Amino acid sequence: MKSLKMQRRLASELLKTGKNKIVFNEEMLEEVQEAITREDIRVLIKKGAIKAKPKKGVSRARARKNHEQRKKGRRKGQGKRKGRKNARTPKKRAWINKIRPQRALLQMLKKKEKINNTQFRKLYRLTKAGFFRSRRHLKLYASKMTGRDEK
């Protein structure tokens, strides 16, 4: 049997893959041996006598699984962290995430007339001062202040 070195090289150039990725069809080996030009190789590729093995990829299965776990709050312990607390969530972003919902709640309470303008101003100032830890804390404080239970 004649060596197929040249055919393999030409096919790898045409298919833009490595020589080791080229596979010849066993039934059509005679035709492959006779092919000596690039055009011959092109014809054989079209016929299916010469093929390239598929590219191997990196499986994302583990990555997807880990991502799902992180969404649940797992895999976020001390050992997984790089960077200080403020590098992961800057102080400004943390403040924005805290203040916007609180101010929105105040607007809603005022609109629904659960609090009057004076109470709104006082609560707004306290919110701006960072007095409340969360919306819940603000709600509790407002309900005690007005003397009614907020839901």
Q: Give average pLDDT by consecutive 10-residue segment, the chain, 151 residues.
A: 88 96 94 94 96 94 97 96 94 98 98 96 98 97 82 52
pTM recorded for the entire structure:
0.58
The single-letter code of the amino acid at 117 is N
What are the chain's domains?
A: 5-52 (1.10.1650.10), 93-146 (1.10.1200.60)
pLDDT of residue 146: 87
Token pair of 118, please?
A: 């004076």
The whole-number pLDDT of residue 31 equals 93
Question: How many other CB atoms sit within 10 Å of the CB of residue 52?
Answer: 16
- Which pLDDT score, from 0 to 100, does residue 82 have? 95
What is the predicted pLDDT for the residue at 66?
A: 98
- Would you state the pLDDT for residue 148? 67
pLDDT of residue 151: 52
- Nearest one of 60, 9, 56 to 32, comparing CA atoms: 9
Q: Using CA atoms, how far apart are residues 132 and 15, in angstroms rounded to an integer?
A: 65
Closest CA to 10 of 22, 28, 1: 22
